[in-house]
Amino acid sequence: MDTKRQAFLKRFSEGSVNKDDFSLLEAVGEYYEKNAKEASHCFSRYELAKSRLVFYKHKVVSSLTDYLTDFETGMAISGTKVIYVKDAEEAVNEISKLIEKDRNIFINRDRLIEEIALASFLSKKNIQFHDSRFSDFPYQVLPYPASSFWQMIAKKLNIDDIQNQPNQLLSLYKSQLLESAFKDAIYVSGADFIVSDPAAVVILENEGIGNLLSAFCKKHVIVAGIDQMIASISELDYFTSLYAAHVQGNLSVWNQTLFFGPKKATEADGPDEMYVILIDNGRTRLLKEEFQRSVFHCIHCGACTALCPVFKHVNSSHGQLSGPLDCVISPIRDGFENSGFMAFACTLCGKCSEICPSRINFQEIILYNRKEAVEKNAFSVFTRQHIKLLKRMMLKQKVLDSPYHRFILKVAFKNRFGKQKEFPDFKKKSFHIIWKGI
């Protein structure tokens, strides 16, 4: 059993134990499901809006190089430096060159920052940083009760008694952030979308902390994936509206900020320096796959992951988000020999495809990945031999009828695919025996 697969199964087992987090994940799933049902009422022609989003994304994917070139040219004119990186390792190395240890560093640990594991990298380098997020919970919408929310803020402020001052906590927290941000600080965040014409970076948030930090920090480093490209700012409304409808339940986007470059001489606030780290990290390889590249249409609303019965367990108590998208991307990005098992981490229930505003057919793509995993012998010799033996034994009625062989099956295969799975209990009398009246 390879290391990545062991880590995945460990996360599943550990996630299943934490009942508090799992109930919260269930609440998030219900929240997203409710939003998906109501999303159609937010648009006069809901299906047309989704069709246009897919069309716009398909247009970008077919000429991505041209759009990226236009984006880089436009950002350079505004004074922003665009840095292309091949993978996560290269990304964190480039960011480390832009960060000075003696300055206050703020990191918004969103999806892209977690993808490149920046926080772990900085911790290993003994570089101190502040986490600008309120919570380590992986979803953008937190249906926490008010008391839990205030306790989170109090913990960040090192305040024990919050009974008499809950309404002042948020203001106090923002004031502390601003005080640090004014002291020649650096802010590192991820992007939600990037626009080619005019060149801009779009960031959506629900707290307002990111806006404050980007306004007053001296240097802003933005990490963006090449798959987040939108051709024109006139098309942005389709993406943000569908995003908001599925994440929030209405068309009003939280805080939508467009960054066209660093602060100009006539502007009161904004960073003096701005950098955009454009990350590939296997996306180009995915783009070459004619069947799987439809996942480039994803707007990363998180609805598929919130409703997935498998990843509700896997994501419990873990900051780095996994979901149906990883079942498609990981085998191609990391190689089927390393992450081919992800194609099988799916029940094919269809919830993800049903709720997806980008009309990605996850089941078909995951089945295609399974076919490739088998054709490429993406599993160890030991695993393949186990499967062959299991198949041979399961096809023989005598084996299933024998108590001895049933015991051997349980011993040999019970824990093979994770201790949390129940091995089927064979009946003492099969249908074949009962039919014969024995």
- 293 and 283 in contact (C-beta within 8 Å)? no
Q: Are residues 121 and 242 in the same domain?
A: yes
Q: Distance (Å, rounded) from C-alpha 153 to C-alpha 229?
A: 34
What integer pLDDT is reported at residue 140 of this predicted model? 47
Is 56 in the same domain as 87? yes
Q: Give the model's confidence band at 165: pLDDT under 50 very low, under 70 low, under 90 confident, else very high.
A: low
Quick check: 358 and 352 in contact, CB under 8 A?
A: no
Distance CA 307, CA 310 (A): 9
**Residues 166 and 303 placed together within one structural domain of the fold:** no
Q: What is the pLDDT of residues 351-404, one digit of tens each?
A: 889 889 999 999 999 999 888 888 887 776 777 777 787 788 778 777 777 777
Which residues, other chains included, contact 230 with Cβ-Cβ below 8 Å and sequence gap of 6+? 56, 60, 193, 194, 195, 196, 202, 236, 239
Q: What tens digit of pLDDT does each residue of 216-250 get?
A: 888 999 999 999 999 999 999 889 888 888 877 66
Residue 156 CA to residue 225 CA, distance in Å, equals 30
* pLDDT reported for residue 19: 55
pLDDT in tens, 168-196: 776 777 777 777 767 778 999 999 999 99
205 and 185 fall within a common domain? yes
Mean pLDDT of the chain: 80
- What distance in Å separates the CA atoms of residue 134 and residue 223, rounded to the nearest whole number? 20
Q: Is 219 helix (H, G, I), strand (E, B) or coil?
A: strand
How many other β-carbons are positioned within 10 Å of the β-carbon of residue 332? 23
Shared-domain flag, residues 423 and 291: no
Any idea what the CATH number is for the domain that residue 205 is in?
Answer: 3.40.50.10420
- Condensed to tens digits (0 to 9), the pLDDT of residues 308-318 reads 887 776 664 44
Shared-domain flag, residues 74 and 202: yes
Q: Is residue 24 in a domain?
A: no
Domain span at 101: 43-281
Let me know the angle formed at the C-alpha of 142 by 138 and 144, rounded to the nearest 5 degrees.
125
Q: What is the CATH number of the domain that holds 367?
A: 1.10.1060.10
- Report the amino acid identity of residue 403: P
Does some domain include residue 216?
yes
195 occurs within a structural domain? yes
Strand, helix or coil for residue 258: strand
In a domain, 15, yes or no: no
How far, in Å, CA of 261 to CA of 79, rounded? 6
HSE at residue 300, side-chain half, CA atoms within 13 A, is 21
Percent of the chain with pLDDT over 70: 78
The CA distance from 39 to 242, in Å, is 8
Residues 228 and 323 placed together within one structural domain of the fold: no
Q: Which residue has the tokens 């057919």?
A: 361
In a domain, 85, yes or no: yes
Q: What is the DSSP letter of 242?
A: H
Q: Does residue 339 sit in the same domain as residue 190?
A: no
199 & 103 share domain: yes
190 lies in the same domain as 292: no
Q: CA-CA distance, 252 to 358, in Å (whole number)?
A: 19
Per-position DSSP letters for 199-233, written without gaps between them: TEEEEEESSSHHHHHHHH-SEEEEEEEGGGEEEEG
Do 277 and 132 belong to one domain? yes
Residues 349 and 393 in one domain: no
